[in-house]
Structure 1
Amino acid sequence: MSETISIQEALIYVMVLTSASDGQMTDSELAAIGDMAKTLPVFDGFDPADVLPAAQRCGERVQGENGLSDLLALIADVLPVRLYDTAYALAVDVAAADMDVSREELRVLQLLRDRFDLDKLTVAAIERGALARHKRA
């Protein structure tokens, strides 16, 4: 994977990988991806209309021979270390969006934690925050 992508596209890939890992992307997950791409400061200058094309490119890349492994390496190479926790937080928010975190989503989250070498305290804080944000009344 010699082709490079933007930081924002790498973050879209993280969210798409998480959402699609269980074989389906729910409306809640898709809405969460779109909303984050429209509102979060890390996406300043990113055109929300580019979310779908980026998601499609992610899907194409993951279909390759070592798709998931290569994609995770690309993401980690593109993202500055200071955004690793941000990427993980986006993935957790997407997984929590439909309040049904699948085994496959948990596995992707584990792969991201390992790839980004996130400490347990950071991971716990991110996950607890997502749980609090996505609770229903």
Structure 2
Amino acid sequence: MNEPISVQEALIYVMVIVSASDNEMTDMELATIGDVVKMLPVFQGYDSARIIPAAQRCGDILQEDDGLKLVLELVGDVLPAKLYDTAYALAVEVAAADLHVEQEELRILQLLRDRFSLDKLTVAAIERGAIARHRSV
């Protein structure tokens, strides 16, 4: 994997590893990734037609030996520190998309918290916000 990725692609990789962690990328998770890319300012100017190829490249890396470790290193190397909490928020959003967080998704979230050295207060705020956004009547 010699080809560098953009900051936006690194954020897509974060969302993909959460979605793929339980070996099932649900329609709700995929829709959330698409919606996030279309809506958030961090993706301004990013061509949404590039989401699927970026997700496929991430999937290809995940198939390699130590693929998850490689993706985490790649993402950590590409993202500026000011976007670590954004990346974690996107990961939580995808994990919460289908209203059920699997153990594998929780493991990926833990790996991201560790990789980004996020403090407990930031993590709690992001997770609480996702709970509030996904609550139904």
TM-score range, shorter chain: over 0.9
Distance in 2 of aligned mates of 1:27 and 1:65: 27
Runs of at least 5 residues in structure 2 that lack an aligned partner in the other structure = none
For each residue in 1:54-79, what CA deviation from the matched residue of structure 2 results, as whole angstroms up to 9, or x when unmatched?
10000001111121111100000000
Q: Where in structure 1 do 4 or more consecutive aligned residues deviate above 2 Å?
A: none
- Identity of counterpart residues, as a percentage? 69
**Aligned pair count?**
137
**How do 1:20-39 and structure 2 match up within 5 A?**
20-39=20-39
Distance in 2 of aligned mates of 1:111 and 1:2: 24
Distance in 2 of aligned mates of 1:2 and 1:71: 13
Shift of 1:12: 0.3
Corresponding residue for residue 44 of structure 1: 44
Q: Which amino acid aligns with 2:48?
A: P
Distance in 1 of aligned mates of 2:36 and 2:71: 21
Corresponding residue for residue 17 of structure 1: 17
Distance in 2 of aligned mates of 1:4 and 1:88: 21
Corresponding residue for residue 104 of structure 2: 104
Shift of 1:42: 0.3
Runs of at least 5 residues in structure 1 that lack an aligned partner in the other structure = none
Distance in 2 of aligned mates of 1:80 and 1:2: 20
**How do 1:1-137 and structure 2 match up within 5 A?**
1-137=1-137
Shift of 1:95: 0.2
- TM (norm. structure 2) is 0.98
Distance in 1 of aligned mates of 2:2 and 2:114: 23
For each residue in 1:75-117, what CA deviation from the matched residue of structure 2 results, as whole angstroms up to 9, or x when unmatched?
0000000000000000000000111000000000000000000
Distance in 2 of aligned mates of 1:100 and 1:122: 22
Shift of 1:3: 2.7
Q: Which amino acid aligns with 1:133?
A: R
What's the RMSD between the two structures over aligned residues?
0.7
Distance in 1 of aligned mates of 2:78 and 2:126: 21
